[in-house]
Amino acid sequence: MCLIYPSYFPNIASYIIITQHKDLCFEVNDNYQKQTYRNRCYLYGANGKMGLHIPVHYTQNKRQKTQDILIDNATPWKNVHWKSIESAYKTAPFFEFYEDELRPLFQKEDDLLLPFVLECIEAINLCLELDFNPTTSKVFKKESTENDFRFLINARKTVTIQTKPYIQVFQAKHGYISNLSILDLLFNMGPETLNYLKTHSPKQINTEKHQGLLNF
């Protein structure tokens, strides 16, 4: 079994894992932690690497399960996120090809973080025409498995992965930026995205288990 956290429009390293494991299990019984990819992703904007962050209701005074975390809809964050995506990729070769599949995600209000994140992943998989039937964890286990990629959720750690460079919209200004959100790869490579992901081995990803990442 391969274990991974679902995240907001997962990065390329995570999608290499997703596309190459039939026995994938999403960890959904964890305690929520800040500064992770659970509620954020990174794109390539006109000024370089750009983060999108889903606001949530969270307090450190008590432990909260990720599946219970509520989205903070006090601000029009979905409108901001879609405008940011559109601004970053409107000139990308395949933005118009996929925008109708993804825009509806930002035209409705969602209350819980986890179901929305899973819906975003499902939308990407439809764009990729990826046959994807993951299971979800029943209980949280600290002990790692042979294929434990839960460390990829940590946004504070730099993941070491050697991916083949592809052409990015603002590459001439800021150079090539690796391991961005799957959105960057999808809008730039289109139908070749799935083949690109499958040409990279999960063994190329740094699988060092970072202390303090797994929670109870």
50-108 tens-digit pLDDT: 999 999 999 877 789 999 999 999 999 999 999 999 999 999 999 999 999 999 999 99
Instruction: Tell me whether residue 134 is in a domain.
Output: yes
- Write the single-letter amino acid at 50: M
Give the single-character DSSP code of 20: T
Is residue 76 one of the residues assigned to a domain?
Answer: yes
**Domain extent at residue 72:** 2-204
**With bands split at pLDDT 50, 70 and 90, how would you rate the model's confidence at 207?**
very low
Which pLDDT score, from 0 to 100, does residue 57 have? 95
Tokens of 176: 């090539």
How many domains is the chain built from? Answer: 1
176 inside domain = yes
Q: Is residue 211 part of a domain?
A: no
CB neighbourhood size of 40 (10 A): 17
pLDDT band at residue 161 under the 50/70/90 scheme: confident
Taking the C-alpha atoms of residue 94 and residue 144, their distance in angstroms, rounded to an integer, is 38
In a domain, 210, yes or no: no
Looking at the chain, which runs of residues are DSSP E strands?
2-4, 24-26, 40-45, 48-53, 56-57, 70-71, 135-136, 147-148
Asked whether residue 99 is domain-assigned, the answer is: yes
The reply to whether 123 falls in a domain is yes
Residue 212 CB burial class (10 angstroms; 0-12, 13-18, ≥19): exposed
Helix spans in 90-139 (H)? 95-102, 113-128
Residue 171: inside a domain, yes or no? yes
SS3 call for 137: coil
Q: What is the pLDDT of residue 206?
A: 67
Phi, psi dihedrals of residue 22, rounded to the nearest 5°: -75, -30
Q: What percent of the chain has pLDDT over 90?
A: 75
Residue 6 in this model has a pLDDT that exceeds 60 = yes
Does this model's pTM top 0.75? My answer is: yes
Token pair, residue 204, equals: 């190329």
- Rounded to whole angstroms, how far apart are CA atoms 97 and 95? 5
Band the pLDDT of 147: cuts 50, 70, 90.
Answer: confident
Check whether 135 has a pLDDT greater than 80.
Answer: yes
Structure tokens at 154: 């940590």
